Structure 1
Amino acid sequence: MNLKEHYRKLYNESIHKILSDGYKTDDLIDSKSDRRFGITLLIRPPDKTKDNIQKLLNELKIAEPDQYYYPNSDIHITVMSIISCYDGFDIKKIELPRYIELIKKCLPDNKNLKIQFKGLTASDSCIMLQGFTNNDSLNEIRNNLRAEFKNTTLEQSLDKRYPIQTAHSTIVRFRKHFQKKDLFLKIIDRYVDRDFGSFEVKKLELVYNDWYQRKESVKKLYEFEI
């Protein structure tokens, strides 16, 4: 996959939908009855990179204060949704040590994984950072997970929503209908090629999480060194 082309195509299609009011708002963000939980393997960028992201978000908040903006604590890259969030998931009913041991088998040895957040892309419901890796080790981990989980009876939902192939990070979700859409998109366009920073990935986290990876709902289950 040519990631630059993929991100750009997604951006162009999504901005067109937003301009023509074909975007979607998430009605569950503020719901007190949302009980969707799951477990995720993820990467967290360093504070310096997240602070760069907040400069953009602070500008967007002025234009559209009612949208949902990710705080530093919640910004992440999904390596794999091991069990995608669903209503009724009970972590006490899974054999967590088996998941940890399986994931350990899937991690490459001595791979220097670096990620660069450069530019923005979008969907019809959110704004995302474009993530680029310096080698293929992230996809190697994902392919290893797919192969290993296929041979077990462990509960999992890998690629249930879509086969994940990128290193993007969602930073804005559309919560309300736009009031100053043109200004919002003008800011997005100004940051569309901005370099938000690069970092070396030293560890992966396995977490129990809600749909939005909100800090108050996330529980770290294990940390993997790579």
Structure 2
Amino acid sequence: MNLKDHYNALYKESIQKISNDNYQIDSLIDSPIDARFGITLIIRPPVEIKNRIQEFLNKLKTIEPNQYYYKNSDIHITAMSIISCYNGFQLKSINMPEYITLIQKSLHGNTNLEIKFKGITASPSCIMVQGFMNNESLNITRNNLRENFKNTTLEQSIDKRYSIQTAHSTVCRFSEKLNQKSEFLKSVEHFRNYDFGSFKVKNLELVYNDWYQKEKHVKKLFDFSF
């Protein structure tokens, strides 16, 4: 996949939909009864990059203060959703050591993975920072996970929603109607090609998480260091 072309197409299509009020508002973001949980393999960017993302989000907050903006503690890249969040999932229902062993077996040996956060893209429900990988090691690990989990009876939902191939980070979700839509989109466009920085990936975290990766709900299960 050509990530630049993919992000560009997604941006163009999504901004058009948002402009036409054809965007999706997430009514569950602040719901106290949201019981969707799962397990995910994630990458966390370093704090200096997350701080640059917050500078961007602060611009958006001045225009649309009531949308949902990710805190530094919650910003992440999904390496692979192992069990997508669903109502009623509980850790005690799975054998965690088996998952850890299988993930360890799936990790690609390339320790030179770098991710560059440059530019903004969007979907009809959120704003995302674009992530670009310097090599194929993450996608090789993803393919290993697909193949290895397919050959087991372990509960998993890999690729059930979509086949992940990007390295983006969702940083804003629409939680209510956009009141200053044109100004909001103008500010997003201003950061369309902004360079947030690059970082070397040193580890992957396996976490138990809610839909939004809120710190108060996330539990680290294992740290796979390179």
TM-score (norm 2): 0.99
| Cα distance in 1, alignment partners of residues 174 and 199 from structure 2 | 28
User: Where does residue 149 of structure 2 map in the other structure?
Assistant: 149
- String of CA shifts for 1:154-176, please: whole Å, max 9, x gaps: 00000111000100110000000
Segments of 5+ residues of structure 1 without an aligned counterpart are none
Deviates more, 1:102-111 or 1:6-15: 102-111
Alignment of 1:1-226 (within 5 A): 1-226=1-226
TM-score (norm 1): 0.99
- String of CA shifts for 1:37-63, please: whole Å, max 9, x gaps: 000000000000000000000010010
- String of CA shifts for 1:66-102, please: whole Å, max 9, x gaps: 1000000000000000000000101111000000000
Moved over 6 A (4+): none
> Could you tell me how far 1:30 is from its partner in structure 2?
1.1
> Could you tell me how far 1:210 is from its partner in structure 2?
0.2
Contact 2:25 2:176 in 1 (8 A): yes
| Cα distance in 1, alignment partners of residues 109 and 165 from structure 2 | 21
| Cα RMSD after superposing both structures | 0.6
> Could you tell me how far 1:110 is from its partner in structure 2?
3.9
| Cα distance in 2, alignment partners of residues 110 and 137 from structure 1 | 6
- String of CA shifts for 1:96-155, please: whole Å, max 9, x gaps: 000000000011124300000000000000000110000000100100000000000000
Segments of 5+ residues of structure 2 without an aligned counterpart are none
| Cα distance in 1, alignment partners of residues 133 and 174 from structure 2 | 27
**SS of residue paired to 1:141:** helix
| Cα distance in 1, alignment partners of residues 77 and 85 from structure 2 | 16
Deviates more, 1:105-114 or 1:152-161: 105-114
Identity rate, percent? 64
**SS of residue paired to 2:216:** helix
